[in-house]
Amino acid sequence: MRFPALAAFALLAALPAAAEDEIGEGLPAPSFSLRTMNPDVAGASWIALDRFVGAEPEDPAAKAVLISFFASWCEPCQREMPFLVQLDRMYRDQGLRVLGIAIDKEEAGIETAKKLIDSAKVTYPVLSDRFNFLARRYLGDKAPLPSVFIVRRDGTIAKIERGYAKDASAFLLAEVQDALGIERKGKQPASKRAATAEGAGRGAPAKAAASR
C-alpha cells in the first residue's frame, strides 16, 4: 500500500516554506522525528527532538541540544564535524546532545555523507532529512551551510548561526557552555587545530538545500 504514502509526500511537498519569523532565538524549536544514518552509534533507528527537550523528555539528563545541518558537498561542514565530535565527548556527561542533520537528497550524496560520518568517527546521532521538509522549516529556501541551532531544555532556541563566516571553535564552545550553564573556559578543544584551523565556519551556499 504505497499510494497513501505517496499522497502524503505530494501534500507536504506542496506546502510553502515556513515563514522566516517562525524560527528565531527565544522561540520554540519546531519538533521533528527523522531516521538515523548511524543507528549503531545513535542507539535508535529514529530520533525525535522531544526525546531531549520539552515538558517530559525521554532523556532526563539532557540540558541542551546542538543541531547542525550539513551536506556531503559542503567543505566547511566537513571541517566542522570533528569539532562537533569533540564537543559531544567533552559535554555529553554534562547534558549536551549533538544531532547532525544531513540534507543530501540523492542516493550518491547520502552514501558520501555516510562515509564522512564513518571517517570522522562521529559519536553523535546523524539524521537524514532526504526530502528537506525539516530544512525548509529551519533554513528556508536559501540558507548557507553549515547552520547550527542550540535548543534549550524547555524547547526554545537559544542560538542560531546560519552559514557562520568564522571558525566554529571560536564561538560554538562558548555558546554550548552558556546553554549548559557552565562558566566559560579560556581553553578550546584540542581539535580546533586539527579540525578548524582553516576556518570551519566559512559558510557554503546551501545549493537547493531546501528546494522543492
33-196 has which fold? Glutaredoxin (3.40.30)
Quick one: pLDDT at residue 178? 94
Alpha carbon of 197 to those of 92, 171, 184, 189: distances in Å? 24, 14, 21, 12
Predicted local confidence at residue 166, as pLDDT: 64
Measured distance CA(147)–CA(67) in Å, rounded:
8
Q: The whole model's pTM is what?
A: 0.79
Q: What is the pLDDT of residue 205?
A: 55
pLDDT of residue 185: 59
Instruction: Give the per-residue pLDDT at 13.
Output: 34
Place of cell 524549536: 29
Residues found in the chain: 212
Q: What is the mean pLDDT of each run of 10 residues along the chain (212 residues)?
A: 33 36 89 97 96 94 97 92 95 98 97 96 97 93 88 96 74 92 65 41 49 36
Can you give the residue ranges of every domain in the chain? 33-196
pLDDT digits (tens, 9 = 90+) for 83-113: 999 999 999 999 999 999 999 999 999 999 9
CA distances from 92 to 61, 137, 201 (A): 9, 27, 22
Task: Note the pLDDT tens digit of each residue in 185-205.
Answer: 554 544 443 343 344 444 565
Q: Is the peptide bond before 57 cis (omega within 30 degrees of 0)?
A: no
